Structure 1
Amino acid sequence: MPIHHAVLALLADGPSYGYELKGRFEESVGPQWGDLNIGHLYQVLDRLERDRLVTKRVVAQTERPDRVVYRLTRAGKTEVERWLETPFVRHAYRDDLFLKLFAASRLGRDTFTTVLDVQRQAYVGELAALRELRERHRDDELVLLLIEAAILHTQADLRVVELAERTAEKLVAGVAVEKAGADSPDTAAEQA
C-alpha cells in the first residue's frame, strides 16, 4: 500500500505529527496525487503503530490539545527500504475506457464515435490542466517529474483514442458479425 510507505519515508526524515505529515505529503506529491485525507492518515498511522513500524508519543501543549508525535522504528526503516528495493509491477492493465469501448461497439458506430469524442475532449482538458500545473511547480523537481509522467500517460491515452478512431469500422463491424452469428437460426437450435 503506497500511502503507508510514503508515511514511513516521511518519518525517515525525523519524528512528526499527523497534520505536519499531511502537509509535507501534499507539498511533495499532492499536486499530482491529490489531498491526503487526515482521517485516513491517522488510520494508516494506527496500523503502522500496531505493526511496530512506528512508535507514538503524546506531547503536552499548553494552548492546544496534546500532540501525538510519531517516530520511525528500526523495523519501519527496514520496511521502507524493502519497499523501495522491490520493483513496481503492474498486475493487469485495467482502464474504464476499454469497458466503455466494449459496450459502445455493441451499440453501433455513432455511439462508439460519441464515446471517443467525449473521451478525447476529457484528455485534452486534462493535458491543459497538467501543463498549467507544470508551470506552477517549476521549482520542485520531484513534483515536476510526477506531472511530466502524468502528461506522458495522458498523451498515451489520447493516442489510444486516436487508434480506436482509426480502427472503429473494424471494431464495430466485428461485433456486428459476432452478434449476427449469435442470432442465427443454427445458434438458436444449438442452444435449445
Structure 2
Amino acid sequence: MPIHHAVLALLDEGDSYGYELRAQFRQLVGPQWGDLNIGHLYQVLERLVRDGLVTKREVEQERRPDKVVYRISRTGRQELEEWLETPFVRSGGYRDDFFLKLAAASRLGRSQLKRVLRAQREAYLAELAALTQLRTEHRDDPLVSLLVEAAILHTEANLKVLDRAETSAAKLAPPHAQARAKTTRRRATG
C-alpha cells in the first residue's frame, strides 16, 4: 500500500499533524508493517501538499512550537477514491529479495545453496513465531488480526517455496555451477 494513499485515507477522517498521523498509521496497519519513519512521513506530506492533494496550516501553541496541521483537499479525496476503486495488480512480476539470493546461490554451487536455504528457513520460522505472537496480542482488533493472518499465510507460502527449493537443489545448482564457482573464486583471490 503506497504510504501516500494511507496518509490520504487518514486525513479523510479529519485534520491531523505529523506525529498524530504516525500513531494513526501504526494503529491502522498494526505492528507487522514495521515503523513509519517520521522523516519519511514528512516527505510524503510535503509531496502531497506540493501536488495539491493536501493543504497545510500552522497552528500556534502556547508553550510549544507551532505545529503544522494537514487537511485533505478535494483533489486529494478524488485521488483516494480512484486508488481505492482500482484493483491492485502486480505490474512488474513478483519481486522478492530471497529470489535474488536463491538465484545467486544457485550459481555458486549446492553447498552454498543449501546454506542459504537453511539460513532462510530459520529466518522464516522465527518470523512465523513472531507473527503468531502478534496474532495472539491483537486478536481483539479485526483489521490488525486480518493483516497479521495475511503475513502468516505469506510466510507459510515462503516456507513451501523453500521446501521445493530444497527438494530440487540438484537441479537449481547443477555440478557445473559448483566447478564454475570454485574457478571464479580462485581467480578472484589469486
Are 1:128 and 2:129 counterparts? yes
Q: Return the offset for 1:22.
A: 0.7
The aligned counterpart of 1:106 is 107
Per the TM alignment, residue 147 of structure 1 is displaced from its structure 2 partner at its CA by: 0.7
Could you tell me which residue of structure 2 aligns to residue 146 of structure 1? Answer: 147
Q: Distance in 2 between matches of 1:38 and 1:8?
A: 16
Say whether the 8 Å CA contact 1:61–1:67 is kept in structure 2.
Answer: yes
Query: Which of the pair has more CA radius of gyration?
Result: 1
CA distance in 1, matches of 2:40, 2:164: 39
Find the residue that maps to 2:173 and give its secondary structure.
helix
RMSD, aligned CA:
2.0
Higher relative contact order (CA 8 A, sep 6+): 2
Tell me what 2:160 maps to.
159
Partners of 1:134 and 1:144 within 8 A in 2: yes
Cα deviation digits, residues 40-99 of structure 1 (max 9, x gap) = 111111111111111112111111111211111111110000011111111221222222
Q: Which amino acid aligns with 1:65?
A: P
- Report the equivalent of 1:32: 32
Partner of 2:72: 72
Amino acid at match of 2:97: D
Count of residues in correspondence between the two structures: 180
Give the stretch that moved more between structures: 139-148 or 2-11. Answer: 139-148
Q: Provide runs of 4+ in structure 1 moved above 6 Å.
A: none
Query: What is the SS of the residue equivalent to 2:83?
Result: helix
Secondary structure of the residue aligned to 2:61 is: coil
Q: Is the 8 A contact 1:29 1:146 kept in 2?
A: yes
Q: Does 1:85 align with 2:85?
A: yes
Does 2:98 match 1:97?
Answer: yes
Shift of 1:163: 0.2
Correspondence for 1:44: 44
**For residue 110 of structure 2, what is the amino acid of its counterpart?**
R
Which amino acid in the other structure matches residue 173 of structure 2? V
Q: Contact (CA 8 Å) 1:106, 1:176: kept in 2 or not? A: no
Instruction: Out of 126-135 and 38-47, give the one that drifted further.
Output: 38-47
- Cα drift, residue 171 of structure 1: 2.2
Offset of 1:176 from its aligned partner? 2.1
Amino acid at match of 1:42: Y
Hey, what's the Cα distance between the residues in 1 that align with 2:93 and 2:67? 42
Segment drifting more, 64-73 vs 125-134: 64-73
Counterpart Cα distance in 2 of 1:101 and 1:40: 31
Alignment deviations for residues 108-131 of structure 1 (CA, whole Å, 9 cap, x no partner):
222221111111111001100000
Secondary structure of the structure 2 residue equivalent to 1:103: helix
Name the TM-score, length of structure 2 as normaliser.
Answer: 0.87
Q: Structure 1 stretches of 5 or more lacking a match?
A: 181-192
The whole-number CA distance in structure 2 between the counterparts of 1:119 and 1:156 is 13
| CA distance in 2: counterparts of 1:50 and 1:96, whole angstroms | 33
1:16 match: secondary structure: coil
| Offset of residue 102 of structure 1 | 2.1
